[in-house]
Structure 1
């Protein structure tokens, strides 16, 4: 009787939440009860054309407008992208475009009614420009509507770049060599860019490229663009630059030697050693759209450290790839739109041993490019075993030998914006067992046939072959969605992963499942001049069962009344109704094990975020509710302080207070990041992290000098401490290292 009452109460809560969401949506879309929605026509600009002008006198890239810019093509027909797409922008933008034998050049005048409104907090190369005024150049050298690059500059002349992974995804960890300059002036600021052809893959016989531009004005959280669709600029809606010819790429060879000197010190037992490690990366373009890369004695010492995560689930956590060698042309290896569970290739697996330790990569080679309608990629790596470092590993760690790892990927462009392809991987980076995987995928995109609506979907199939695992080793799935930023959006997805499906070079943290998911959302945008900018509601329902059909997880998630005002301040209410069926005990913390059982619980919360134009950005999340027969309270806080372009500090704190019948415990995760910019070339970047799950305190501090793109010098300190068992509130040092690295790109 009590179970029946509980189920009725659970269904009543779900129904009430659903009624609230639907009622708010109804009120907002009813003309008599809400302001009239702006009419949005298909004015994306994808039919816009620039007649390119070639110059024999390249501009000097220093942020000062030369007369040569006036000889270039002029672009000034910009519209507002966000918040009110296709309306008149608040500020004027004029762009000048030129190309020469060796590079494409773009200059942009950002004009302000009040230049004091310029916002520029970042003075570190490759930094985060999210809250800065900015100018972006988009390029799709193949003009195929499917891939491309973006290059970004802020008023201090700082650079950031990214590569599109498919039409919608941006990989901001990709890096390329290009040059920039910016200067503030009486009308606003002027930006200059030079993008060498050596940095790009392109077809030398093609005279037209996809191109677009965008400007960010953070004082009123506005994006201004030349082309856009659904409040987004991506390769499917770029305009076209025509008349390009005679571009030279040199012999297409980049030689990147680096020297690494590291002093390491361990304290238990106490040892000290100094290592001298040269490394070499080579990049060669066999033709302008096919690039080969080789790496020897690969060094990743300057790679950003991972953000720690609190583990309160029974599934492996996901950490993104940040190593430069693997990020080059990474979009070619993307498969089926998968970004987590079921991903057949995840380069982060390479160079990580069975105990999580770093393994040397003795050598590696990669071939990526586009040949006609085909997109091709191949990667081979020689990974060292862990026998030489076994003494530094936890007792009982598995010994693995040197291994040869391989992934091959090919896809063909079909229809207007879609692809069909295949992938194969071979090798196991964490064991000596053999593993091979093959897969097929189809990616569909259409934002051309339906007025103001995007339709996209994927279908995929994989099969793995692993020593010692027989049968039930397939995975497949399909989804369809309409991810619109106005009005209704939604999607359906189904996937199934066999119990013995094992992508050794991929990522799968939950197998032996059948998963179905449905999502429905609605966004209403108010007219200009009102207090609120938008309000949105989103419903998501997920059910996961074992391949035997028995339920494992069911979750109903509601994001209700997500409100944003004209300054970018946001608030959202959260409701989660979760059912978890544990078929084996789950140790959630030391000494606290949740037993087998059927658990249902509801959680409520609120998230608040202040607008990015403020010098102190505050994000606060609060959640409370039931949790595996007990209670869990969660607080998440982020303070982002930017008093000047020379200093930014970010403090993040996550706290969980968990009270269970099996025991009580708290989790704490603290992260402090500081960025100090002495000059645009010199910067000191530090990260301090602590969590009480691992009881580890770590420091990563990096002094960097980047005098120009392609040249870099680093001094890096890493230190680790563990909470002392014998002394309260103190730490015992585990080890530390100091590294000096210098590298330079020689381009031919």
Structure 2
């Protein structure tokens, strides 16, 4: 039976390869010429330099939303220039209608859809796949991210640059200087892909300089215009950044009755430009105490939950490693490194060799942990990506985890000779047609471990088509029972999966409704004997209003044949027996309010059956109020009511999370949030003060508490003060 999926994968791979991937760049007629600055540029938001008077202007933006068939009604003007060290950007964002701007706060890397903003997208290799994004909201909060997969932006990436926003009665002006040393680009190249995006919430209009169809994000690199350089961008020369840190703190474990642990740590990161497009990152004794704690969720799932990476070291060019595979088939997941053991040192080489090749190589060493009997471990990941056609690529990956030294508490037994290793080899083809209508992937993985028996492989593929109205996708997966990715995220083994889905949008001539339409998504799982174990089919209907609020209704059919014992509350310890069959239906509705209001809210509810012929009611909501642009208040809540037969009975779970964000300026921030999770009987309090005293240089004060709700007993408490400084040569 496994041959069926294998044959299907081969057929789908053939279809992927047969789809045209070559073609003329769609918006190559949209050109902005950039020349050397004719005068010094001061970043103050005032248009008074001769350099701006001499610069070419990009104007006449095209509307993306609500419709993509006309010019924008909101006027935007963009100018760019450069000198030996920096790329300069000036944007005049004219108001179309009177009234105040809309922003959440001065918080860096703001939510795109909730702020009046301007964004720059740069394809510095002109490969329509990778690049950089910079921007600001109307209050001056910065946005920066690294771009991958032709239009996705990772906002966790952070670098050195300066900007200023100045507001006038009829416009707001954004001016920025981006050091050439802060970005990567191909040496000698004189044409970059480039586009500009503007969101104006007063008119609910999104627009771009080079036109982008409304079904795609304005970040889509397939639709960039061309930035034509008067002369090749200057070589950044020696480009070495050293980022040392000093951290002091204390940890007190009240629950374990341990004495206070005073922590004083010193470490350093370094970034060395091997070339203008290839970077070497080094770290010694890194510390990530300033990284915000994970948002908790009520866990009623049968499998391990996924939490994204937040640590800066793993982020630049992280797609070379982390994006291999699918959401639930990841051969490499960087959070496996260093969360339960200290990282001693690490190195990563990543970036472009030329227009067609990208490479990545990473090695990390962790120390042993006596308390958990964890030996020292070494992690190696190597990846290579070769462009095929205009926007597609073939990629390969190798992942290795090896235990080293003696096993703690094991009488001197050597971990390496004891056979403690896990390795993965993978190959995938990523399709992206020149117009982005067709995308897809075909994937093969193989794992190797000591004493491994049986088949240990993965093959999967998908093909997606997205036009203005119709979107459909076919996806299938096979994960063998013995496949193991200890440094990856593969929560489920031993299954076949077939997952078709489709959606259709109607665009009525209405002053109230932007679009509406149905969706259908079916996920069918089978065990290795081709017996169906899961059928999750969802029918939905979504209505999006011109105000940007949305309303969605859905119906879901669930049929689950448990493959192992499972506690449906993930709390009681009582389990349903393996191989019991459970079927139920549920209905749900969700509404998200318009982002322009100072008071915003969202609410969703689900009601229906559950395991063991029980019932489940879920209510989730979030309310927020902002004192624009300095203070944002929010409260999230999640309530689950499970009505089950004995021995579970009726179970109630609350998860509540109030949050306060104070942005005194765009360099001084304070955040405090609490999480009360009734399922794990814990209250978590996290507060963080951040002062960005120079670009990419920070002072953090972080305080974290965990409490037992009753009688409000402190479990553990952490206080950390961290200072980082970014030197560049």
TM-score (ref. length: structure 2): 0.91
Q: How does 1:285-434 map to 2 (within 5 A)?
A: 285-336=273-324, 338-353=325-340, 359-372=341-354, 373-387=356-370, 390=371, 398-427=372-401, 433-434=420-421
Is the partner of 1:701 in helix, strand or coil?
Answer: strand
Shift of residue 660, structure 1, vs aligned partner: 1.2
Deviation at 1:426, TM superposition (A): 0.2
Deviation, 1:221, is 2.3
Deviation at 1:371, TM superposition (A): 1.0
Structure 1 partner of 2:543: 563
2:226 aligned with 1:240: yes
Match of 1:627 in 2: 610
Deviation at 1:570, TM superposition (A): 1.2
Kindly report which structure 2 residues correspond to 1:240-639, keeping only aligned pairs within 5 A, or say none: 240-243=226-229, 244-267=231-254, 268-336=256-324, 338-353=325-340, 359-372=341-354, 373-387=356-370, 390=371, 398-427=372-401, 433-448=420-435, 454-484=437-467, 486-527=468-509, 530-560=511-541, 562-588=542-568, 589-596=571-578, 597-628=580-611, 629-639=613-623
Q: What secondary structure does 2:202 align onto? A: helix
1:63 aligned to 2:45? yes
Deviations 1:692-711 (A, max 9, x none): 11111111101111133122
Q: Which contiguous aligned blocks of 4+ residues in structure 1 show a shift greater than 6 angstroms?
A: none
CA distance in 1 between partners of 2:442 and 2:183 (Å): 30
Superposition pairs of residues 89-128 of structure 1, within 5 angstroms: 89-128=72-111
Alpha-carbon shift at residue 128 of structure 1 (Å): 3.5
- For residues 573 and 128 of structure 2, the distance between their equivalents in structure 1, rounded to whole angstroms, comes to 54
Paired residue secondary structure (1:90): coil
Contact 1:82 1:222 in 2 (8 A): yes
Tell me, in whole angstroms, the C-alpha distance in 1 between the residues paired with 2:203 and 2:677.
37
What are the ranges of 5 or more consecutive residues in structure 2 without an aligned counterpart? 1-23, 408-414
Residues 211, 238 of structure 1: 8 Å contact kept = yes
How far apart are the structure 2 equivalents of 1:191 and 1:246? 23
Deviation at residue 224 of structure 1 after TM alignment: 1.2
Matched, 1:138 2:124: no
| Matching residue of 2:18 | none
1:666 Cα deviation (Å)? 1.4
Q: How does 1:152-171 map to 2 (within 5 A)?
A: 152-171=135-154
Deviations 1:138-176 (A, max 9, x none): 111101111111112012221111222211432121112
Q: Contact conserved, 1:719 with 1:736, CA < 8 A, in 2?
A: yes
Local SS of the residue matching 2:260: strand
Work out the CA distance in 2 between the residues paired with 1:334 and 1:314.
23
Distance 1:428 1:364, change over 3 A: same
- Residue 60 of structure 2 contacts residue 71 of structure 2 at CA under 8 Å; is this kept in 1? no
- The reply to whether residue 51 of structure 1 matches residue 39 of structure 2 is no
Match of 2:657 in 1: 671
On the 8 A contact 1:428/1:505 being kept in 2, the answer is: no
Query: SS state of the match for residue 587, structure 1?
Result: coil
* Correspondence for 1:214: 197
Q: CA deviation at 1:548?
A: 2.0
Q: Residue 170 of structure 2 corresponds to which residue in structure 1? A: 187
Deviation of 1:43 (Å): 12
Q: Which runs of 5+ in 1 are unaligned?
A: 1-41, 354-358, 391-397, 725-729
User: Is residue 495–residue 514 contact of structure 1 (8 Å, CA) maintained in 2?
Assistant: yes
Question: 1:587 offset after TM fit, Å?
Answer: 1.6
Distance 1:708 1:131 in 2: 27
How much does 1:191 deviate? 0.2
Match of 1:733 in 2: 714
SS of 1:622's equivalent in the other structure is strand
CA distance in 2, matches of 1:57, 1:467: 66
Equivalent in the alignment of 2:700: 714
Secondary structure of the structure 1 residue equivalent to 2:462: strand
Pairwise CA distance, 1:129? 4.6
